[in-house]
Structure 1
Amino acid sequence: MSADDRRLVIAGASLAGLRAAQALRQEGFTGSLTLIGDEPHAPYDRPPLSKDFLTSEGPPPDTGLPVPADLGARLLLGSPATALSPDERVVTLADGARVPYDGLLIATGAEARRWPGAPPPPGVLTLRGRDDATALRRRLGSGHRLVVVGAGFLGGEIAAAAHRRGARVTLVEASPQPLASAVGPTAGAYVAALHREAGIDLRTSTTVTAFESRHGRLAGVRLSDGTRCAADTVVLALGAVPATGWLASSGLDTELGVRCDIRLRALRPDGTVVPGVVAAGDVASVPNALADGRPLVLGHWTNAVEQARAAARTLLAPHGPDAFRGVPSFWSDLHGARFRSVGLPALADTEEVRENDLAGRRLEIAYHRNGALVGALTAGRTGRLARYREALHHTVSGQRPEVGARG
């Protein structure tokens, strides 16, 4: 079978899926290309949903991702993938359609982590997709009482955006500092100070124990410190989980996302390669050199883009020499501070604070594990990241060839 006779299918029509489709065409693939999307919307960008989308005046900004006119792809939107049969090489959709493939790229992303207890009452929301952001945007306004549960970057961005819209915001965080497990205690204290300085009611070392309703409507939350917060809306920002439920009977290893080898080929639980299947983006669990080769799921924009390109190349040449050796990076804007990071600060056992100026909105921290650099974080010092990125690329490119995956 020649390359142009192959039927390539991408399950997931968001950032990673679209970028993979573009990469396939750029690599010279001219055969059949299909993108499957669970939402009815054309591909769009997610990072603005917790920022400008919530704060802009007038109509919400367009977050759509440009789809090249010459992409030549069939888009199947609004009917998510519900099952995969690698032996038959068929993806089944919610409407019963069966989509055959010769090569499959899994890019179904992640889902918002749900409340662990009984289903909460109406008025308790999550924010993952455009429809979620639209529902939240409609609720926000002057005097609106909002409780955000989880003070990670997503929760912090939602809280900051709502505050700009005039809402009265309470931000509830189970840890002693926001983001402490992700970027350490110094950056966590810095973010906490930003929130409190802006006028957000930040409650740390605190959890929500119950939701209160009155006449069928959300009225407030009870907290673990015994206090009560009135609330018109609650947003759960408890993290995300890879969207792998549709792969339950596929035979793929999906215990912690779709486990892949270093070429982004999907693996079975015994470590063997699933022929013709690769993964990329928030759903993929990929060996990372900064973590000594341990598979990690990274929900970052740049990671999705870089893995999409690498997975596309692997799909066209499964036994090629290329391995994915990306350096993770992310960004966030909170209360006038522009945070940028490279590497994996969460892995560090020590941090070196090189600048900490809350008033000037400047911060620079280098993160080390066993004496080796594993990440860096800045606020207002983006230009300083280049040398950290270069050092981390050197570390990643010097890793030994992958062992363990067979196929």
Structure 2
Amino acid sequence: MADPVIIIGAGQAAFSFANRLRQLGHEAPVTMIGLEPEPPYQRPPLSKKYLLGEMSFDRLLLRPLSWYEENGVELRLSTWVEEIDRDQRQLCLQNGERLSYKTLVLATGASPRTLPAPMGGDLAGVYTVRDKQDADRLATVMRPGARLLIVGGGYIGLEAAAVARHLGLEVTVIEMAERILARVAAAETADAVRALHQCHGVTIREKTGLSRLIGEAERVVAAELSDGSVIEVDLVIAGIGVTANDVLARKAGLAVQNGIVVDAHARTSDPDIFAVGDCAMLPYQGALIRLESVQNAVDQAEAAAAMVAGGDKPYEPKPWFWSDQYDAKLQIAGLNLGYDETLTRAGTRQGSLSVWYYRQDRLIAVDAINDAKAYVTAKKLLDQGLSADKQIVADPQSDLKQLLA
């Protein structure tokens, strides 16, 4: 029998690794260690259809429990690793138990940044949105008429705002940067998303940060903002990004840099240890980046599993993302890092558009709002390493199929 494989983490990347390993016929004993009590499940619907009550939790499970038994994957849930002993190739669990491994996979994911306690982050009524427990807590308090403050105008905060408005809450979003989506999207995309939220009754205050939360009886009741204004609130959601769960790797002496540094084969600085998903810093176009997406969690994990099963093909990221807000679907292909030009193209449906990003006259990414044709076309071009003729893109009457000719 092959040597044991242990996966730390029980999310999308962990499941994808184990599943691919079995699909490839690799017979190593596999143990998956998860902090949560639930087996691997989809996270994106948690803050949308699950929170809205439109999807039961069993539909979020990536596989039923029987799959793990049938495929020889031991699930160790409500369990965590205290230490990685690389010399002995052993893990020390929280109960003192030690497990030996031949291959170790770190699929530890990321954790939401929280508001600091001196700012009032420890008051009751302050939430983050990342796992089932977070969604279950929010489901009990998101009631019509409640006043919600969302700190952060990125995708996490804006998706939460859309769900809250659907549930009838009064929503204010504050963003300390010049505009919402400042780090991840062009102004044209941000303008469209802002208008979408405003027409649904969300108050968006840009260039406005949080000074402190005000509490009574240890529960949040108001927020003092950076412009000196004070607004009454019933609950607060911090949507200020996530931090890679790399502490365990750092303690073990692995290379860490805002995430666990890996090579093109998902190997860490220890050749017996792989890292996949949101916790990994991987090479992309000459730089190290973290790709926080389901697509990357699946693709990188499957590439790592192929390596463990005897392959040697490097992982080549082809990033794509999506965000559902109200009746709008934002689809993103590529990464807009370092763009120096954008072209905006109106779609065929009312309110649909796409924003095409160029760097040195070469297409690097596209944002498409309710414009599946633009998204699919751009993704095909990017996957094939092709650019897009600017004249065709800029002319809304032109047929995008010409770009693929």
Residue 259 (structure 1) aligned to one of 258, 261, 264: 261
Q: Secondary structure at the match of 1:21?
A: helix
For 1:334-373, list aligned pairs within 5 A. Answer: 334-355=325-346, 360-373=350-363
Other-structure match for 2:102 = 102
Give the counterpart of 1:275 among 271, 284, 287. 271
Preserved CA contact (<8 Å) 2:263 2:283: yes
| Partner amino acid, structure 2, of 1:369 | R
Any gaps of 5 or more consecutive residues in structure 1?
Answer: 268-273, 397-407
2:150: which partner in 1?
Answer: 148
Asked if 2 retains the 8 angstrom alpha-carbon contact of 1:104 and 1:315, the reply is no
Q: Name 1:284's counterpart in structure 2.
A: 280
Structure 2 matches for 1:279-318, cutoff 5 A? 279-289=275-285, 293-317=286-310
Aligned to 2:82: 82
Q: Distance in 1 between matches of 2:233 and 2:205?
A: 15
- Give the number of equivalent residue pairs: 381
1:3-30 deviation per Cα after TM superposition (whole angstroms, max 9, x unaligned): x321011111110000100000011111
- Other structure's SS at 2:382 match: helix
Q: Judge conservation of contact 2:280–2:290 (CA < 8 Å) in 1.
A: yes
* AA at the equivalent of 1:372: R
Q: CA RMSD in A?
A: 1.8
Residue 89 of structure 1: CA displacement? 1.1
Q: Which residue of 1 aligns with 2:395?
A: none
Instruction: State the one-letter code of the partner of 1:332.
Output: S
Other-structure match for 2:164: 162
The aligned amino acid for 1:43 is: P
Partner of 1:270: none
Give the whole-Å Cα distance in 1 for the aligned partners of 2:239 and 2:155.
9
One-letter amino acid of the structure 2 residue matched with residue 193 of structure 1: A
Distance in 2 of aligned mates of 1:184 and 1:193: 14
1:378 aligns with 2:368: yes
- 2:49/2:55 contact within 8 Å kept: no
Q: Paired residue for 1:208, among 180, 202, 210?
A: 210
Per the normalisation by structure 1, the TM-score is 0.89
Matches within 5 A, 1:6-17: 6-17=3-14
**Structure 2 gap segments, 5+ residues each:** 387-405
Other structure's SS at 1:66 match: coil
Alpha-carbon spacing, 1:17–1:207, altered in 2? closer, same or farther (3 Å) = same
Q: Distance in 1 between matches of 2:59 and 2:216?
A: 36
Distance 1:188 1:151 in 2: 10
Matching residue within 157, 176, 179 for 1:177: 179
1:349 to partner: Cα distance: 2.1
The structure 2 residue matched to 1:23, chosen from 12, 20, 24, is: 20
Is residue 333 of structure 1 aligned with residue 333 of structure 2? no
Change (3 A) 1:221 1:356: farther
Letter in 1 for 2:307: T
Distance 2:86 2:350 in 1: 55
Q: How does 1:29-48 map to 2 (within 5 A)?
A: 29-48=26-45
Give the structure-2-normalised TM-score: 0.90
Could you tell me how far 1:254 is from its partner in structure 2?
A: 1.4
- Equivalent residue, structure 2, for 1:387: 377
Structure 1 runs of 4+ aligned residues shifted over 4 Å read 57-61
Which SS does the other structure have where 2:251 is aligned?
coil
Identity over aligned pairs, percent? 31
Displacement of 1:132 in angstroms is: 0.5
Residues 60 and 101 (structure 1 numbering): CA distance in 2 closer, same or farther, change over 3 Å?
closer
